[in-house]
Structure 1
């Protein structure tokens, strides 16, 4: 895991180099060489400490050792000469294996400033080689600086997650072990250490031959030569004399297709390039998505008794594309034994992506009728960018329960009495009953409530409701504690007033996690998620008693809100009296059942949160190649402005002859317009300046809501807010309207800039024609469009998933209230 100290050291080293080596790539090369140079010397020192002898800096090369270069008593100029000569000659060092000599081949120091070098080496000297990942941490952080890290979904796997997976899969000394996307070889080294640790006792120590065979049974592939180089170094430094890591494209090459493994461990990249992967035809699942192909590859390359642990993105778990469903069906029927859900943020600071672990066992899966679903809430580190260590750690308990579940299945003990505290066991028939094969465990949680079987209680009997205090405008300040008003909770105003008053009673102080209910004007339930604040009037702070859980009361919000609406009074400010509010009845199960209800709902809510993150964060981005030609819109499109027929002519509006498009259609229908909410008559079309726009017209808003865009699927007209972009007849061989539609998302910032800073934004058709856009060849346009359309379908599937999970929450509370 990338720790703060490692990052700071790398940043400091770059800051030192930048004046002499301004190019980031050259900085990376110099830092990498220095790290490897220093770590070789560390290994020599470690060997000598245990009574052995140095192997790297020996003979004539002994004078170039790191310790001599950075040691006390050596002058800056002497250190410069030694280090410069050392890295230049290191490729000739007979004490280095071929691998190391190739790394230092043609290496040189690109500057001659002794003080800069001394400062730089001083920072590198602070690194200690105390575990196999430190070099990888430093190197991959360097890659992230150049923008390489994460571009292909290649995120560093934290060491504790690697060890967790390895301990569950439990590789043995005779197993053939593979990582088909090995990165820095973290999984391979962890598996090696696990086997060594498992064979330490006197009854089963590894013989010399077994150690040699074990090292030969471990292999890895990676498409990146940099990663291959680093893996080889890492394995060599862990006493693999001749490590087997190959530069190999696992998804498109066939030369190693017939090589199988007893154990496969992987965190494969899961971002597909534009246009998708172009695999060969030997995969069982037809797809161009790398995450699908990698999981397929891993499953298909297990021996008959093989097992695997693989980290996958959420798309594998629940996306509805045919390839994803086909893969899940294959896994459920023949390979999958357990799924472990990880918290989002495990891969911070590289990515907040949500992931899960699939545990595969080819032999066990075919004998078992169940799948275990487990959930890690906390992995021992907070989920922020810094990933600081915390006390909460579910990994040991989850590991114990997963291992016990697999043991019971393997030994035929049965799972009738096995009730894991971190998950559940689900029949395979349930997983496949709807053909979706969804691998989200929460989906299969059995509801704990039946309709209308709970006693009723009045709100006033289960909690105290503390109304906020009235603040005068004179109490408002620019600093202090926030004053919570209804508009702050509903989102209609994010601007807070503050107060520094010290005489506010504690009952009016709101703390993180408090339940608030607005009972005047806007009715709503809210969980406060901010620092301590003070409560304004017209909002209750809820203080539940021992009979009810706060979260249970919160999830009763829809039914309580409906009851409040029936009891409100007032004309200008509709509200409910406290007496009427406290007299509302709610079902009151036992605390145990309340906890189960809350647990079930929060399981659905976590799925909603994950899906909503996909929906809210997806942007249809297009990576523009600077080599693409650029054209002005007016060169390739006719720009046609819309208008509004006179409302004084009823006959223009009394027929539904011609669709008439406005910005509200985007808000109600989406960006693909196959119908409109308003229509006009043929008379309006023929007797006004309106023009009928053909299908595949891109509709671009240039007034008020500047930058909004859509594409028509039907002939239509528009109001004057929109300009229609119709690809010219002569431009159709070089411009796909769908590509123009996708590019329109990129126009917004430029249009806003061109619209000026007046209160009424406006971009004229003349200005719009001068907007410049890249124009790659038609095949590239269509490939980009296909990719974005596929991504859009995934986003749409998440929207559907949100609706489905929200429906499940409503169903749960409906049963609690006896509504179903």
Structure 2
């Protein structure tokens, strides 16, 4: 758990970077990510050396044995003069990690020139983390030796005194990611962690699942799924399941390489070293993945602009549109295996939009698959950086129908105030949502005046497949009894007499 003391230390590092002129939160996270990665490489090297000393067995090393190669290790440069640290980082460490291959860093020749590792077609590049694969276009932007030294000192203090295990590293990184409160150009914004966790609880991933977020951003859904699996199955997982957990289980796509680096680091800090994190426009023709995953979790972009020519034809066959929120729903259906389940966030317009594209995707979900739940969320969930009204859709891909009735829930509170401050409050419907979703039998008799209820498929179809909760929710009006006119007039006369008496007393005092 990230305590107040740890938050203060992180905030101090953040302030030092801002004072150095880097004010974009995404850039701050990116630069910190590089430094955390560099430190993790040295930790891994130290573990390798310890194993060699104990077992007497020679192993492959990350850092070259040369003086230049060893100088790139965090433990060797962290206590040096600030100018020497800066030059080492700028001239050696950063160029080397951009050319990392087979889990090894390249060496430097006598003239200080980088000697790239020769490609070996017989050897797959399995030694690289997903993060290392996206370092090609990374840039070292820390402006001065003094700022760099402050950051290194701050990180070293955190790792030495506050971070006890991988879970804590992940929590620390998530706290940093929580500072990303700006919306992207394509309608992207960070999904609140408690909403992510709720959606993961709804689909309940297992160690044998293949989980995909085709709009992964900082990989929040994948990390939350990993935490869920470790919490509920970690003590009983087989070696094969742990191997699956370390990589193949998790897939994420994004069109921002900075986000890919950040998401890969986030996963690495949660023991997922080789996820399939890829640069891909998920709804375009470059993505032809079909029937591969058992779970899809996502908060796809709502206002993204897509070139009509680049959209995959099989998505247009389901919903002929350029709206990304509709295309992603068709994408989930295509990428899921039969029996696969999905929980995704959609803007309210998807629920009641009257266009042919809107109606066709809703009809597809209800008639050809099993739409299980529509959870309407209050508009303040994404504040302070977006006030859009949204809902969570939960469905299962069947290809043969299965929607008998749809469960609706009207979320009124999520544990935080619905204003820009988003402070903690007692009111929270999320535990109730999770409990009721996994006990549908108890929901059967609930009336439409209550917070959750079922609506038959036939009624939804008759309403043009409208999924907005207000279409079906009933409001119970309680008659209010008012006093009679005679009583109201009597009260007014009494008030008038009191006013007259008060004025008389004031006149006597004057």
Question: Is TM (by shorter chain) over 0.5?
Answer: yes
CA distance in 1, matches of 2:337, 2:142: 53
Ranges in structure 1 where 5+ consecutive residues have no aligned partner: 469-820
Is residue 157 from structure 1 mapped to residue 191 from structure 2 by the alignment? yes
2:37 is equivalent to residue 12 of structure 1: no
Q: Report the counterpart of residue 281 of structure 1 in structure 2.
A: 313
Q: Tell me the residue number matched to 1:260.
A: 292
Q: 1:62 to 1:47 in 2, by over 3 A?
A: closer
**Structure 2 residue 82 is the aligned partner of structure 1 residue 76:** yes
Tell me the equivalent position of 2:343: 309
Shift of 1:271: 0.9
Hey, what's the Cα distance between the residues in 2 that align with 1:320 and 1:86? 56
| CA offsets 1:112-136 (integer angstroms, 9 cap, x no match) | 8433433454566677773547546
Distance 1:369 1:111, change over 3 A: closer
Using the TM superposition, give the Cα deviation of residue 253 of structure 1 relative to its aligned residue in structure 2, in angstroms. 1.6
* Partner residue, 1:709: none
Map 1:662-741 → 2, pairs under 5 A: none
Task: Say which SS state the counterpart of residue 415 (structure 2) adopts.
Answer: strand
Equivalents in 2 of 1:275, 1:459: separation in Å?
A: 66
Q: Which residue of 2 aligns with 1:399?
A: 434
RMSD: 4.4
- Counterpart CA distance in 1 for 2:141 and 2:202 is 48
Shift of 1:295: 1.1
Which residue does the alignment assign to 1:247? 279
The answer as to whether partners of 2:283 and 2:311 remain within 8 angstroms in 1 is yes
Partner of 1:271: 303
**Aligned with 1:155: secondary structure?**
coil
Q: Which has the higher helix share?
A: 2
Q: Report the Cα distance in structure 2 between the residues aligned to 1:160 and 1:53, rounded to whole angstroms.
A: 40
Q: 1:91–1:100: 8 Å Cα contact kept in structure 2? A: no
Q: CA deviation at 1:375?
A: 2.2
SS in 2 for 1:380: strand
Q: TM-score, normalising length from structure 2?
A: 0.72
Residues 449 and 47 (structure 1 numbering): CA distance in 2 closer, same or farther, change over 3 Å?
farther
**Is the radius of gyration larger for structure 1 or structure 2?**
1
How far is 1:335 from its partner? 3.0
CA offsets 1:513-541 (integer angstroms, 9 cap, x no match): xxxxxxxxxxxxxxxxxxxxxxxxxxxxx
Quote the residue 1:171 is aligned against.
205
Change (3 A) 1:32 1:53: farther
Task: Find the counterpart in structure 1 of residue 35 from structure 2.
Answer: 37
Range moving further from structure 2, 74-83 or 186-195: 74-83
Give the whole-Å Cα distance in 2 for the aligned partners of 1:455 and 1:28.
Answer: 54
SS of the residue aligned with 1:226? helix
Give the distance between the partners of 1:459 and 1:68, measured in 2 at CA: 88
Aligned length: 443
Match of 1:443 in 2: 471
Per-residue deviation at 1:13? 4.3
2:356 is the counterpart of 1:356: no
1:458 and 2:491 matched: no
Contact 1:88/1:106 (8 A) holds in 2: no
With the length of structure 1 as denominator, give the TM-score of the two structures: 0.47
CA 1:28–1:417 in 2, change beyond 3 Å: closer, same or farther?
closer
Q: Given the superposition, is the C-alpha separation of residues 416 and 126 from structure 1 closer, same or farther in structure 2, using an over 3 Å criterion?
A: same
Distance apart, 1:160 and its partner CA:
1.5
CA–CA distance in structure 1, aligned partners of residues 14 and 384 of structure 2: 15
Distance of 2:382 and 2:237 partners within structure 1: 35
- Residue 387 (structure 1) aligned to one of 415, 422, 426: 422
How far apart are the structure 1 equivalents of 2:433 and 2:193?
Answer: 17
Whether the 8 Å CA contact 1:87–1:104 is kept in 2: the answer is no
Residues 45 and 159 of structure 1: is their aligned pair in 2 closer, same or farther, counting only changes over 3 Å? farther
Kindly indicate whether residue 373 of structure 2 is the aligned counterpart of residue 373 of structure 1. Answer: no
Following the alignment from structure 1 to structure 2, what is the Cα–Cα distance between the partners of residues 210 and 233?
Answer: 21
Structure 2 alignment gaps of length 5 or more: 53-60, 106-126, 497-510
Where does residue 783 of structure 1 map in the other structure? none
Alignment CA distance shift 1:369-1:388 (3 Å): same
TM-superposed deviation, 1:218: 2.4
CA shift for structure 1 position 329 = 2.1
Q: Residues 123, 200 of structure 1: CA spacing in aligned structure 2 closer, same or farther, 3 A cutoff?
A: closer
Structure 2 match to 1:197: 231
The alpha-carbon distance between structure 1 residues 237 and 432, as it changes in their structure 2 partners (threshold 3 A), is same
1:87 paired residue among 80, 94, 99: 94
Residues 38 and 218 (structure 1), Cα distance of their counterparts in 2 relative to 1, 3 Å cut: closer
Deviation at 1:429, TM superposition (A): 1.9
Shift in Å at residue 268 of structure 1? 0.7
Task: Give runs of aligned pairs for residues 76-225 of structure 1, distance below 5 A.
Answer: 76-84=82-90, 85-91=92-98, 95=104, 97-98=127-128, 99-102=130-133, 113-122=144-153, 130=168, 132=170, 135=173, 138=176, 144=182, 149-200=183-234, 205-214=236-245, 215-225=247-257
Secondary structure of the corresponding residue to residue 360 of structure 1: strand
Contact 1:57 1:63 in 2 (8 A): no
SS of the residue corresponding to residue 458 of structure 1 reads coil
> Which residue of 2 is the match for residue 633 of structure 1?
none
Alignment CA distance shift 1:319-1:100 (3 Å): closer
**Counterparts in 2 of 1:393 and 1:131: CA distance versus 1, 3 Å:** farther
Indicate yes or no: 2:440 matched with 1:433.
Answer: no
